């Protein structure tokens, strides 16, 4: 027995030795590969004793020089290598400074310099206490004022951030007519005197005097509008929110694009929240509920500033539900008080601001982020039961989910709200036409969201034909929360698998049908199913949908939060419930948003 044990140990030793030798040989071979040719946009840290230390392709390296170089440090350059040795250093000294106004993957727009193309090999670096470090290529944020741009051959080669990103200001793109990001014409005024600037020209306007401009009149230049009085508001006459002309704090920037004028409201983050809180939560819910909403909205906005999703139009977010609804219902003394009493407060996880998703009403469960958007799991967006009795049964199984929706005695924080349960009936032929009408657009936009069933029963990406007559539909997969993840749609000529709760809700939208809520109130003409927490039954030529909740189901239920506050919880306890393991941080005490 001892001999066998010794042989086993010996075999393991030999195996480990071979593995180590292989790793050593691999590393040795890699070291023997000598760099040749030009390497662009490195950041030189220092050069001395015929050695150069620099950030090269994102890695800190020390490389040999063909000759001694002194006095070269903290500068961008191209390096020409020959047989692993730096033969030539091309220093890039031309540097400009300015506010970043807009950008995409091909160009950036800098205040006073206009649009400049990006070099294909451009790099971003950031100054830290311990020196300069490389950053990801999407690390720039529109509105940043502490950026230096290294320009060569007419292109931006290197961007150097000299101070951390802050979060005091936000840029909001106002949605144009019919959901477009631009306007054909802009008309506005103000409740005080205001200035209109275009290039080096500036004109003053009286309070109430109208300024109007179209794309042609802009002549390819940006236009800025600002009030001359502190606290003044600009009235955007081109847009009405529920029949009322909205008034905005801060300033406006108008930028010309091919299809129209992009209108961006630039203001402080706290003032932005004045116009978000009441638009996202009923003011009647009270101060504590508005404070909950303020912390969530501030956290969400800070996170969005870093995302660059509206950067091509010079903004961080737009004013719709795609981000946060802004100024649809104007600010009130209650919304201002809620913002002021939580000033600077954001939710953090491991010292990073979180993505504080929220929605209207839960069905008694919240969903994990990966169930809804197929992202990586996020520790503070794990989802769970909202039952006041602590029920936590998994609802992946169809029978369990149906019983859960049908359970009239199930008690959760959202139980007493109309959207807690809902039903809707849709005619088969109407639903069939709707699905076919939307499916091609969905497939074009996101081919991975729609798969076709093959002869062997497997679902694969394939060209979509006609569905034919709608025969049936069934849920293929649910998350633990019960939210739908994939749906099978069976037609007479093709069978489709639709992936993702949003895509499914879009295809099955009850646009011409009546939804009956828990309190028997009726809602008509919705462009999405209320939530992805539903099951479906077919009766003759009608499809019946039974569901619960309103919204995507990730993060905080706004109505659930209101119910918790009514039961005596504090606003901080509510936030801790919906975003576990997070902390509230005072953003004003931190120098960096990240």
Between CA 562 and CA 119 the distance in angstroms is 51
The Cα 302–Cα 316 span in angstroms is 9
Are 151 and 188 contained in the same domain?
no
Is the model's pLDDT at 510 over the cut of 60? yes
Residue 166's pLDDT is 82
Q: Is 147 a residue whose pLDDT tops 60?
A: yes
Same-domain status, 183 and 328: yes
Say if residue 182 is in the same domain as residue 65.
no
Residue 1 reports pLDDT greater than 50:
no
Specify the CATH number for the domain of residue 46: 2.40.50
Q: What is the pLDDT of residue 523?
A: 96
Structure tokens at 356: 């504080």
| 175: DSSP letter | P
Residues 211-231, mean pLDDT to the nearest whole number? 94
pLDDT band at 30 (very low <50, low <70, confident <90, very high): very low
In terms of domains, do 142 and 184 share one?
no
Would you state the pLDDT for residue 16? Answer: 55
pLDDT number for residue 240? 84
Domain range for residue 129? 95-161
Categorize the per-residue pLDDT at 461 as very low, low, confident or very high, splitting at 50, 70 and 90. Answer: confident
Q: What is the pLDDT of residue 22?
A: 59
**Domain presence at residue 266:** yes
Q: How confident is the model at residue 2 (pLDDT cuts 50, 70, 90)?
A: very low
Residue with tokens 């004793």: 49
The encoded tokens of residue 193 equal 């005197």
Residue 18: pLDDT over 90: no
Residue 122 lies in a domain: yes
Q: Do residues 152 and 232 share a domain?
A: no
* Burial of 105 (C-beta count, 10 Å sphere; 0-12/13-18/19+): exposed
Place of tokens 């091309």: 90
Query: Which helix (H) or strand (E) segment is 86 a member of?
Result: strand 85-92
First-to-final CA distance of the chain: 60
**Distance between CA 325 and CA 493 in Å, rounded?**
42
Whose CA is closest to 578, among 416, 355, 358? Answer: 358
Indicate if 449 and 519 belong to the same structural domain: yes
Lowest mean pLDDT among 12-16, 108-112, 163-167: 12-16
| Residue bearing the bigger pLDDT, 16 or 169 | 169
**297 closest CA partner among 381, 216, 215, 354:** 354
Check the CA dihedral 465-469-471-472 and report its sign. Answer: positive
Q: Is residue 585 in some structural domain?
A: no
> Which pLDDT score, from 0 to 100, does residue 199 have?
85
pLDDT over 60 (residue 593): no
Task: Indicate if the pLDDT at residue 84 is higher than 70.
Answer: yes
Stretch 59-83: mean pLDDT, rounded? 92
Mean pLDDT of 395-404: 95
Tell me what pLDDT residue 195 has. Answer: 97
Is residue 58 within 8 Å of residue 134, measured between CB atoms? Answer: yes
Residue 233 phi/psi, 5-degree rounding, is -125, 140
Same domain (yes/no): 187, 122: no
| Helix pair angle (558-566, 571-578), 10° resolution | 140
Identify the three-state secondary structure at position 443: helix
In this prediction, residue 214 has a pLDDT band, given cuts at 50, 70 and 90, of very high
Check pLDDT > 60 for residue 527. yes
* Residue 364 lies inside a defined structural domain of this protein: no
Instruction: Tell me the C-alpha distance between 505 and 485, whole Å.
Output: 11
pLDDT at 10: 54
User: Cα-flanking dihedrals φ and ψ of residue 175, to 5°?
Assistant: -65, 135
pLDDT, tens only, 562-582: 999 999 999 999 999 999 999
Helix/strand/coil for 61 = strand
> Is 327 in the same domain as 205?
yes
pLDDT tens by residue, 538-570: 999 999 999 999 999 999 999 999 999 999 999
Number of domains making up the chain: 4
Please tell me which residue, 444 or 343, carries the higher pLDDT value: 343
In a domain, 360, yes or no: no
Q: How many CB atoms lie within 10 A of CB 525?
A: 11
Contacts of 391 (CB under 8 A, 6+ apart): 385, 410
d(CA 209, CA 430): 51
> Edge-to-edge strands of the sheet including 583-586?
352-353, 345-349, 583-586
**pLDDT > 50? residue 5:** no
Residue 382 scores a pLDDT above 70: yes
The token duo for 187 is 């008309």
254 occurs within a structural domain: yes
Are residues 527 and 503 located together in one domain of the fold?
yes
User: Are both 221 and 297 inside the same structural domain?
Assistant: yes
> Residues 443, 527: one domain?
yes
What confidence score (pLDDT) does residue 27 get? 52
Q: How far apart are CA 491 and CA 552, in angstroms?
A: 28
Per-residue pLDDT at 284: 96
Give me 41's structure tokens. 């946009």
| In a shared domain, residues 179 and 303 | yes
Task: Note the pLDDT of residue 13.
Answer: 56
The whole-number pLDDT of residue 408 equals: 84
Asked if 454 and 462 touch (Cβ cutoff 8 Å), the reply is yes
Averaged over 90-108, what is the pLDDT?
Answer: 93
Tokens for 280, please give them: 């996202």
- Listed in sequence order, the DSSP H helices in 306-348 are 333-341
Q: What is the average per-residue pLDDT within 326-337? A: 94
Confidence of residue 590 (pLDDT cuts 50, 70, 90): low
Average pLDDT, the chain: 91
| Neighbour count for residue 409 (Cβ, 10 Å) | 5
- Of the pLDDT bands very low, low, confident and very high (cuts 50, 70, 90), residue 389 is confident
Q: Is residue 405 part of a domain?
A: no
């Amino acid at each position: 027995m001892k001999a066998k044990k010794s042989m086993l140990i010996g075999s393991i030793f030999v195996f480990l030795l071979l593995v180590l030798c292989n790793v050593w040989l691999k590393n040795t071979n890699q070291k023997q590969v000598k760099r040749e040719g030009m390497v662009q946009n490195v950041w030189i840290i220092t050069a001395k004793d015929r050695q150069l230390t620099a950030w090269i392709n994102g890695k800190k390296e020390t490389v040999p020089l063909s000759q001694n170089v002194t006095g070269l440090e903290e500068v961008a350059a191209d390096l020409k290598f020959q047989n692993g040795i730096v033969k030539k250093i091309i220093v890039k000294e031309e540097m400009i400074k300015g506010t970043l106004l807009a950008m995409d993957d091909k160009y950036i727009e800098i205040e006073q310099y206009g649009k400049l193309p990006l070099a294909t090999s451009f790099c971003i670096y950031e100054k830290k206490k311990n020196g300069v470090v490389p950053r990801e290529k999407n690390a720039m944020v529109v509105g940043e004022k502490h950026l230096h741009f290294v320009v060569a051959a007419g292109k931006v080669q290197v961007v150097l951030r000299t101070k951390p990103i802050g979060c005091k200001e936000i840029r909001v793109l106002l949605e144009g007519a019919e959901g477009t990001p631009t306007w054909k014409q802009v008309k506005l005024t103000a409740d005080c005197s205001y200035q209109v600037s275009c290039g080096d020209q500036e004109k003053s306007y009286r309070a109430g005097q109208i300024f109007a401009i179209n794309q042609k009149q802009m002549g390819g230049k940006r236009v800025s509008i600002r009030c001359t009085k502190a606290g003044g508001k600009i009235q955007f006459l081109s847009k009405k929110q529920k029949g009322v002309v909205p008034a905005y704090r801060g300033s406006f920037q108008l930028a010309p694009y091919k299809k129209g004028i992009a209108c961006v409201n630039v203001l402080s983050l706290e003032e932005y929240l004045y116009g978000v809180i009441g638009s996202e939560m009923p003011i009647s819910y009270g101060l504590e509920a508005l404070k909950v909403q303020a912390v969530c909205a501030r956290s969400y906005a800070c996170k969005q500033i870093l995302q660059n999703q509206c950067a091509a139009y010079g903004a961080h977010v737009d004013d719709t539900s795609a981000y946060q609804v802004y100024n649809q219902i104007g600010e009130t003394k209650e919304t201002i008080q809620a913002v002021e009493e939580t000033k600077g407060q954001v939710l953090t996880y491991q010292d990073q601001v979180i993505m504080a998703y929220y929605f209207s009403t839960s069905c008694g469960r919240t969903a994990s982020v990966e169930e809804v958007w197929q992202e990586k799991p996020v520790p503070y967006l794990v989802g769970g039961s909202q039952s006041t009795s602590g029920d936590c049964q998994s609802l992946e199984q169809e029978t369990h989910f149906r019983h859960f929706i049908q359970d009239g005695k199930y008690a959760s924080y959202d139980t007493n709200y109309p959207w807690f349960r809902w039903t809707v009936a849709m005619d088969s032929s109407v639903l069939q036409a709707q699905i076919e009408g939307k499916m091609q657009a969905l497939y074009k936009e996101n081919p991975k969201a729609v798969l076709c069933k093959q002869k062997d029963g497997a679902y694969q990406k394939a060209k979509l034909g006609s569905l034919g007559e709608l025969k049936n539909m069934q849920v293929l997969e649910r998350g633990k929360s019960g939210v739908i993840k994939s749906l099978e749609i069976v037609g007479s000529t093709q069978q489709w698998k639709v992936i993702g709760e949003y895509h499914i809700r879009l295809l099955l939208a009850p646009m011409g049908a009546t939804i009956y809520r828990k309190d028997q109130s009726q809602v008509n003409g919705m462009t999405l199913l209320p939530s992805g927490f539903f099951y479906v039954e077919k009766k003759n030529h009608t499809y019946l949908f039974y569901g619960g909740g309103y919204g995507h189901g990730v993060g905080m239920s706004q109505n659930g939060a209101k119910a918790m506050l009514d039961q005596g919880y504090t606003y901080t306890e509510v936030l801790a419930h919906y975003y576990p393991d997070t902390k509230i941080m005072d953003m004003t005490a931190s120098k960096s948003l990240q």
